[in-house]
Chains A and B, each alone.
Chain A
Amino acid sequence: MSASLPTTQTGAPQGVASPAGTALRLFLSNPIGLGGLIILVVLVFAALAGPQLYGVDSLDIVGMPFQPPGDDPILGTDYLGRDILAGLLQGGRASLAVGFTSALITVVIGVAFGSLAGFFGGAADTLLMKITEFFQTLPTLLFAMVLVTLFGQHLVVTTIAIGIVSWPPTARLARAEFLRLRGLEFVKAARASGAAPAYLIWRVILPNAAPPIVVSATLAVGTAILFEGALSFLGLGDPNVMSWGLMLGQNRAYALDAWWTVMFPGAAIFLAVLGTSLVGDAFNDAINPRLRKR
């Protein structure tokens, strides 16, 4: 039955050539977005390849505590005598992994709730939105702290906890998009030709609702990295996995006496968050037709 159905792109309201191609072109021509993308690529590359290239275990004590940067190791050592550079590289892996994975969890839960609520409306909408509101009214940081306290200080728990506390805004966004799109002509057309709800949600509406969700997911990556930093800062990080947040949290007591122990991981978090939000913003500009002239 699918053969006769309109494809998503032909149903798209703007309908010019290829909207995705236009968006990409617009994105790449935006120097700010490109800058953000470069930052992210560099960070991801450093995190993926860095630890092997550098070859120092970030949890090993390699020298005296609080060696200032400049000599060997190049970025100095922390309060235990662990290599800061090794920590940045290996920590980047954990921090970025937490960032991307929690953003993914946020999107999966958020889109599931939002799409079903927006598509079906009525009782389903009320029920799903009540659940969303329940989660939304919980203070996110406290809720995440409770989850980590209950289930233990492991990176997996942290990641899931961040995902669980961050999805309600995505759900609301998805719901709004679905509410808007489900009344449009191309959806009606698909429905009239006998498409099942799953097909309508998955193949017809979702691709058109995707752009704002992708933007919010990009921004969620940055937020999640910050969130992991905050949890670690409060002493709820996973002590067995080096992450930027953990470095920041564990060294913060020594910040006044050894600036390098917190400055570098702080800068890394700053860059990652900056990178994701620049990319997110540029992406938003690129897909939003009304902002194209900016």
Chain B
Amino acid sequence: MQLTKRAFIAAGFSCLLALGAPARAETIAPLVIGTTQVPRHFNGAVQSGLATGMVSTQLFASPLRFDDKWTPKPYLAETWDVSPDGRTVTLHLVKNAVFHDGQPLTSADVAFSIDIIKNNHPFKTMLAPVESVDTPDAYTVVIHLSRPHPALLLAMSPALMPILPKHIYGDGQDIRTHPANLAVVGSGPFKLVSYKQGETIELERFDKFFLPGRPKLDRVIFRILPDKNSLVIATERHEVNMLPFLTGVLDVKRLQKAPGVEVTAKGYEGIGPLNWLAFNTKKKPLDDVRVRKALAYAVNRDFITQKLLGGTAKPSTGPIVSGSPLFEPNVEQYKLDLKKAELLLDEAGLKKGADGSRITLTIDYIPNQNEYQRNIAEYLRSAFKRIGVTLEVRAAPDFATWAQRVSNFDFDLTMDSVFNWGDPVIGVARTYLGSNIRKGVIWSNTQQYSNPRVDELLEAAAIETDPAKRKALYSEFQKIVVDEVPITFINVTPYETAYDTRLTGLPDSIWGVLSPLDELTWSSGAAK
């Protein structure tokens, strides 16, 4: 009997709550975002990657934001002008932006942040041409460039250019270990309430956010679970309302079937995640382009995308992701052709031995990304065996071990996953520039690929302000790189976001959840 009594009280209590709901704004349910990524800190000015980016973009505002058509939109910068010679970019900041501690956000903070990012962010090319930043008044920022730099606009996106408070970070402490990286004072729509390392990150609406009426949610909670499966189950049960960066074939299918959950692939155009097979082009026999081509012809990309990845992933054919306006579709497609592959290997002097094997090579892969890395590496072992290439799969116990091997050129072949990050200058050039062969640095030109013409094209495109000419330069670049196969492009990593169907105002942006979630809220009547 006690049970019924308790149930009765509970029911009565929830009725009261429901009655009170419309009157009090605080009863908007918190949004729970699920993630496996444990951020080291929240300062996106010195740290790239999704773990930091997802939170950093909520805590810090940036000069610009982007819609889903790659068009820059005002954010902290109300308006901006690019000088005709492309070497001066002027930002006119909003006048009502304040940091979470109430201090106004001014041009000095922007100049300070640009300097910090240029000197500390891992994406060196992003702000490399920035020579100086002038602040003629408190709300005007003039960026002087050594050469035109069309990628600068994308580099001012939320994930790449968080504006830091100079009055906090300008105290002379090392920016990378600054205590404020974990006790954030930003100017974004949400402020940090608490971070339980590896468990939850709790954010709360910032009442003085400079965009009126935003954000619409009161609370955002990032729930960190180490295991992807638990996250999927939590999303099914609506314990997690939004699950970005969902990649597993089976997980996607499962959540597509879950009631009240929607899955979308939108919002990852900016990140441009590519999954590929990289060759160590300085190591014999992979220094011979014929060998690399032969291996490329032995890969059945359709089998990988349609069968192994269950039709969720799009094949990719070149270094620039197909969603980008700079994508060049007319490149060599490397359709499966075992005869051609064998012929190329014969020409390269790799004859079959008595056991049918021409040569033994090793393949590495990024651990803990089974579907896109390990499984494809294992598929390749079987695929290459058909052309007489014995592949040994080298498992790495953790990411650091893999990164150590690959960045020190201690590999033959490796699966790899690299992001475009919007503009080719930011995320693409680094993989192919001869000047970016940097031992020990992962996601640099670890293939040790070098072609002076490619370097020339990349450098010319980086400063070309005419969009058509720029596209032409990148087209030639894509054709050369695909022809010389430092990398065999496999697929676009199909990141998807699962979200509660009662949510509205999801970010309509090429950056997806790496955008401020200031319009996101529960649709009316969805009070939980």
Cα–Cα distance between A82 and B378 once the two chains are bound (Å): 10
Which residues of chain A in 222-254 are interfacial with respect to chain B, using CB atoms and an 8 Å cutoff? 235-240, 250, 253-254
- Separation in Å of the A167 CB from the closest CB of chain B? 24
Contact: B381 with A81, CB < 8 Å? Answer: no
Contact: B385 with A60, CB < 8 Å? Answer: yes
* Partner pick for A64 among B307, B393, B397, CB 8 A cutoff: B307
- Separation in Å of the B466 CB from the closest CB of chain A? 47
Query: Which A residues lie within 8 Å of B248 (CB)?
Result: 253
Contact of A112 with B by CB under 8 A = no
Which residues of chain B in 360-376 are interfacial with respect to chain A, using CB atoms and an 8 Å cutoff? 367-368, 370, 374-375
- Separation in Å of the B368 CB from the closest CB of chain A? 8
Contact: B397 with A149, CB < 8 Å? Answer: yes
Contact of A148 with B by CB under 8 A = yes
Contact of B308 with A by CB under 8 A = yes
Cα–Cα distance between A82 and B370 once the two chains are bound (Å): 16
Q: A239-B378, A253-B250 are in contact. Are A80 and B397 (CB under 8 A)?
A: no
Query: Which A residues lie within 8 Å of B250 (CB)?
Result: 253-254, 257
Q: A61-B382, A80-B382 are in contact. Are A239 and B397 (CB under 8 A)?
A: no
Contact of B392 with A by CB under 8 A = yes
Query: Which A residues lie within 8 Å of B367 (CB)?
Result: 235
Query: Which B residues lie within 8 Å of A239 (CB)?
Result: 374, 378, 393-395
- Separation in Å of the B395 CB from the closest CB of chain A? 4
Q: A61-B382, A148-B397, A235-B367 are in contact. Are A240 and B392 (CB under 8 A)?
A: yes
Contact of A79 with B by CB under 8 A = yes
Cα–Cα distance between A20 and B307 once the two chains are bound (Å): 58
Q: Chain A, interface size: which category?
A: 20 to 34
* Partner pick for B379 among A61, A149, A236, CB 8 A cutoff: A61
Contact: B378 with A80, CB < 8 Å? Answer: yes
Contact of A121 with B by CB under 8 A = no
Query: Count of chain B residues with Cβ under 8 Å from any Cβ of A?
Result: 22
Q: Fill in one digit per residue for B297-310: 1 if any A CB lies within 8 Å of its CB, else 0.
A: 00000000001100
- Separation in Å of the B492 CB from the closest CB of chain A? 20
Q: A64-B307, A240-B392 are in contact. Are A253 and B370 (CB under 8 A)?
A: yes
Secondary structure of the A contact surface, majority rule? loop
* Partner pick for A80 among B229, B308, B394, CB 8 A cutoff: B308
Contact of B242 with A by CB under 8 A = no
Secondary structure of the B contact surface, majority rule? helix
Contact of A65 with B by CB under 8 A = yes
Query: Which B residues lie within 8 Å of A90 (CB)?
Result: none
Cα–Cα distance between A238 and B397 once the two chains are bound (Å): 11
Cα–Cα distance between A65 and B248 once the two chains are bound (Å): 15
- Separation in Å of the A245 CB from the closest CB of chain B? 14
Which residues of chain B in 243-276 are interfacial with respect to chain A, using CB atoms and an 8 Å cutoff? 248, 250
- Separation in Å of the B91 CB from the closest CB of chain A? 47
Cα–Cα distance between A239 and B394 once the two chains are bound (Å): 7
Query: Which A residues lie within 8 Å of B382 (CB)?
Result: 59-61, 80, 82
Contact of B130 with A by CB under 8 A = no
Contact of B383 with A by CB under 8 A = yes
**Nearest opposing residue in chain B for A64, CB measure:** B307
Cα–Cα distance between A253 and B247 once the two chains are bound (Å): 13
Query: Which A residues lie within 8 Å of B378 (CB)?
Result: 59, 80, 239
Query: Which B residues lie within 8 Å of A235 (CB)?
Result: 367-368, 395, 397
Which residues of chain B in 211-250 are interfacial with respect to chain A, using CB atoms and an 8 Å cutoff? 229, 248, 250
**Nearest opposing residue in chain B for A239, CB measure:** B393
Query: Which B residues lie within 8 Å of A250 (CB)?
Result: 370, 374
- Separation in Å of the A83 CB from the closest CB of chain B? 11
Q: Fill in one digit per residue for A48-73: 1 if any B CB lies within 8 Å of its CB, else 0.
A: 00000000000111001100000000
Contact: A61 with B397, CB < 8 Å? Answer: no
- Separation in Å of the B379 CB from the closest CB of chain A? 6
- Separation in Å of the A241 CB from the closest CB of chain B? 10
Contact: B397 with A153, CB < 8 Å? Answer: yes
Contact: A80 with B385, CB < 8 Å? Answer: no
Contact: A80 with B375, CB < 8 Å? Answer: yes
Q: A64-B307, A65-B308 are in contact. Are A59 and B381 (CB under 8 A)?
A: yes
Contact: B383 with A79, CB < 8 Å? Answer: no
**Nearest opposing residue in chain A for B362, CB measure:** A240
Cα–Cα distance between A149 and B250 once the two chains are bound (Å): 29
Query: Which B residues lie within 8 Å of A64 (CB)?
Result: 307
Cα–Cα distance between A79 and B248 once the two chains are bound (Å): 13
Cα–Cα distance between A237 and B394 once the two chains are bound (Å): 11
Contact: A61 with B383, CB < 8 Å? Answer: yes
Q: Fill in one digit per residue for A130-154: 1 if any B CB lies within 8 Å of its CB, else 0.
A: 0000000000000000001100010
Contact: A236 with B381, CB < 8 Å? Answer: no
Query: Which B residues lie within 8 Å of A238 (CB)?
Result: 395
Contact: B395 with A153, CB < 8 Å? Answer: yes
Query: Which A residues lie within 8 Å of B393 (CB)?
Result: 239-240
Query: Which B residues lie within 8 Å of A236 (CB)?
Result: 395, 397
Which residues of chain B in 397-411 are interfacial with respect to chain A, using CB atoms and an 8 Å cutoff? 397-398
Query: Which A residues lie within 8 Å of B308 (CB)?
Result: 65, 79-80
Query: Which A residues lie within 8 Å of B374 (CB)?
Result: 239, 250
Contact: B395 with A80, CB < 8 Å? Answer: no
Q: Beyond the given A64-B307, A80-B308, please list 12 additional residue pairs across the A-B interface where CB-CB is below 8 A.
A: A59-B381, A79-B308, A79-B375, A149-B397, A153-B397, A235-B397, A237-B395, A238-B395, A239-B374, A239-B378, A250-B374, A254-B250
Q: What are some 15 contacts across the A-B interface (CB < 8 A)?
A: A61-B383, A65-B308, A79-B308, A80-B379, A81-B307, A149-B397, A153-B397, A238-B395, A239-B378, A239-B393, A239-B394, A240-B381, A253-B248, A254-B250, A257-B250
**Nearest 5 CB-CB pairings of A with B:** A239-B393, A61-B382, A149-B397, A153-B395, A239-B395
